[in-house]
Chains A and B, each alone.
Chain A
Amino acid sequence: MAKILKMVAQRLALGLLTLFAVSLIIFLGVELLPGDFAQEILGQSATPETVAAFRRELGLDLPWYTRYFDWLGGIFHGDFGKSFASDREVSELIGGRLLNTLFLAAVAAVISVPIAVALGVLAALYRNTLFDRTINVFTLTSISFPDFFVAYILILFLSVSWNIFPSISNVSSDLGFWEHVYRVILPALTLTLVIIAHMMRMTRASIINLLASPYIEMAMLKGISRSRIVTHHALPNALAPIINVIVINLAFLVVGVVVVEVVFVYPGLGQLLVDSVAKRDMPVVQASCLIFAATYILLNLTADVLSKLTNPRLLHPK
């Protein structure tokens, strides 16, 4: 147990260190890249006086380390600064949208994970049959589709032709839970189709890998049925890589929402980020990037810890 705690603490420390480095990159990016940000925003026709005044207003005339620690300190209090474009607090802009994004990602995860694992197990079980090949071609194809293509195909069929689901996911906080789910079902389905292939292929590969090991041969010689071998002998040992790939795909999901949110005009963090990039609203972009990066790092860290926990051998490196 002490060993596990130590491992978790180590990983956490490493994650925090990475996050610190990432925050530095996000902040310094503005600093190191060529061009004067104030000048860019105001345009070529701005007089030097206006540019200087604008720089003072944004605090750009202070040295970078002062601003960095101000910024970082503010984040710990939930204060991300003020948006350039709308003069509102960034935290106010982000708050509700972050929840929306997490909700969408959660719905997509709930749909995709069970289907992916089930299909992966089935494909491993009926290896090299027509079923397996069909799934293989299907997953290769779905990996190759751009997100927005999948999204528009779903809109075309499920929304325009048959009118089952709404093509625009306009949600507000006063909607009931199921109404909310109903409105995000199309974006969630899009995300599902995008990430399911990778999870399924990894599940299949890790189970097939295990089926070659001696204890599986033993179980076969005992005369146990194929499905029992897969579910009782292979699956528990394949859990580590499967959990790993699931969590990594969840991390991907958090980023994959960006394009999907734009297609479905869903008021999430991704859409805010894209809008802010177009408007070059730096504080909002920095804050959203930091949140996305933090989620991503945290999920990858979870994957690391979980795969170690499910395989005790990894805890005792030789």
Chain B
Amino acid sequence: MARIWKLLKSAPPTALFGLIVIVAYILIAIFGPILTPYGESEIVGTQFIPRGEQGFILGTDNLGRDMLTRLIYGARNTIGIAFVTTCLAFLIGGVLGLMATTLGGWVDQLLGRLVDVLMAIPILIFALLILTITGTSVPVLILVIAVLDSTRVFRLARAVSMNIVVLDFVEAARLRGEGTSWIITREILPNALPPLVAEFGLRFCFVFLFISALSFLGLGIQPPTADWGSMVRDNATLITYGEITPLMPAAAIALLTVGVNFVVDWFLHKTSGIRDDK
């Protein structure tokens, strides 16, 4: 506890800000149903009631649903889906990447070339192509983005572990007769963790922005599920009247990504010892 406190004290203000934002979002996502006055897609009034009128703090949306309620539920859905997707991407990419370096040979070659080809297509274009064929639903969305994103994780996991796998203690473990899974989990993974953790933050931001963009295009999370990207899309007409409520969900997305980026930035500086002033 004392160590954590000391660590927090040494953190720059930007990182502290980021931590506070992340914790706040997690709390809102968990306690969403308690905090909200109405149901997720409950129609409570006429459409586009302005901010502050009739007891609606943020007004109502294009179908007469409470904006604040949907904003809070959006935290659950958008962050939840992005988090699950990132975890899955790390599971796929991380395991395959570490396996590629540990096993080497044709496994490494095959996986490497496959990832090269997949990465040659921009991720958004690829996702749009697959979603055309499969149609959009949450499980498909998670699976498609996780697989596409895992190529980036694979690259990093491979690059990081490549330098570790040639070290003496891995050799020693091999001579001891340890299996592949032991070498990966006990010898390589602990040493490859810091860059992978930082990458997790960055990939989460990417996936989070990506899902929001897809939802904004109407091809991501489908109604009536509350989601920040599609909320912007549904209420965008209000912006041309100079009304800022449709920007709230977009700002919510931006704030979380800024927070995560600040924390990752600090973490990278701490673990890698990168100093600008060398």
- Report A's interface with B, CB cutoff 8 A: 18-19, 21-22, 25-26, 29-30, 33-35, 37, 40, 127-128, 137, 140-141, 143-149, 152-153, 155-156, 160-161, 167, 208, 212, 251-252, 254-255, 258-259, 262-263, 273-274, 276-278, 280, 282, 285-286, 288-289, 292-293, 296-297, 300
Within 214-236 of B, Cβ neighbours of A (below 8 Å) are at: 216-219, 229, 232, 236
Question: Residue B14 at the A interface, CB < 8 A?
Answer: yes
Question: Residue B34 at the A interface, CB < 8 A?
Answer: no
Across the interface, name the chain A residue whose C-beta is closest to B265.
Answer: A140
Our pick among A19, A255, A289 for the contact of B129 (Cβ within 8 Å) is A289
When distances are taken between beta carbons in the complex, the residues of chain A under 8 Å from B124 are: 255, 258
Supposing A160-B242, A167-B240 touch, asked if A293 and B120 sit within 8 A by C-beta, the answer is yes
- Report B's interface with A, CB cutoff 8 A: 14, 116-117, 120-122, 124-126, 128-135, 205, 209, 212-213, 216-219, 229, 232, 236, 239-242, 244, 246-247, 250-251, 253-254, 257-258, 260-262, 265, 276-278
Jot down 15 A-B pairs with beta carbons below 8 A, ordered by A.
Answer: A22-B121, A29-B129, A128-B277, A140-B262, A141-B258, A144-B257, A146-B212, A149-B250, A160-B239, A160-B241, A160-B242, A254-B122, A258-B128, A285-B128, A296-B120
A286 and B217 within 8 A (CB): no
B247 and A153 within 8 A (CB): yes
What is the CA–CA distance of A297 and B253 in the complex, to the nearest angstrom? 30
B251 and A274 within 8 A (CB): no
What is the CA–CA distance of A212 and B14 in the complex, to the nearest angstrom? 27
Across the interface, name the chain A residue whose C-beta is closest to B247.
Answer: A152
What is the CA–CA distance of A133 and B77 in the complex, to the nearest angstrom? 34
Across the interface, name the chain B residue whose C-beta is closest to A141.
Answer: B258
Across the interface, name the chain B residue whose C-beta is closest to A143.
Answer: B261
B130 and A148 within 8 A (CB): no
Query: Number of A-B pairs whose CB atoms are under 8 Å?
Result: 146
Top 3 A-B pairs, shortest CB-CB distance: A144-B257, A149-B250, A255-B122
What is the CA–CA distance of A29 and B14 in the complex, to the nearest angstrom? 44
B239 and A146 within 8 A (CB): no
B121 and A259 within 8 A (CB): no
Across the interface, name the chain B residue whose C-beta is closest to A149.
Answer: B250
A289 and B133 within 8 A (CB): no
- In the complex, which of the residues B130, B132, B277 has the most CB atoms of chain A within 10 Å of its own CB atom? B132
A282 and B120 within 8 A (CB): no
Chain A interface SS verdict (over half) = helix
B122 and A274 within 8 A (CB): no
B130 and A33 within 8 A (CB): yes
How far does the Cβ of B220 sit from chain A's closest Cβ, in whole Å? 11
When distances are taken between beta carbons in the complex, the residues of chain A under 8 Å from B218 are: 274, 278
B133 and A146 within 8 A (CB): no
How far does the Cβ of B237 sit from chain A's closest Cβ, in whole Å? 11
When distances are taken between beta carbons in the complex, the residues of chain A under 8 Å from B128 are: 258, 273-274, 277, 285, 289
B129 and A26 within 8 A (CB): yes
When distances are taken between beta carbons in the complex, the residues of chain B under 8 Å from A276 are: 132
When distances are taken between beta carbons in the complex, the residues of chain B under 8 Å from A152 are: 232, 236, 239, 246-247, 250
Our pick among B121, B134, B262, B278 for the contact of A293 (Cβ within 8 Å) is B121
15 more A-B contacts (CB under 8 A) besides A35-B134, A254-B122?
A22-B117, A128-B277, A145-B257, A146-B212, A148-B229, A149-B251, A152-B246, A156-B242, A156-B247, A160-B242, A262-B216, A276-B132, A278-B218, A285-B128, A293-B121
How far does the Cβ of A28 sit from chain B's closest Cβ, in whole Å? 11
Our pick among A37, A208, A278 for the contact of B276 (Cβ within 8 Å) is A208
A146 and B132 within 8 A (CB): no
When distances are taken between beta carbons in the complex, the residues of chain A under 8 Å from B277 are: 127-128
How far does the Cβ of A269 sit from chain B's closest Cβ, in whole Å? 11
How far does the Cβ of B169 sit from chain A's closest Cβ, in whole Å? 29
Supposing A258-B124, A273-B128 touch, asked if A21 and B247 sit within 8 A by C-beta, the answer is no
What is the CA–CA distance of A289 and B127 in the complex, to the nearest angstrom? 10
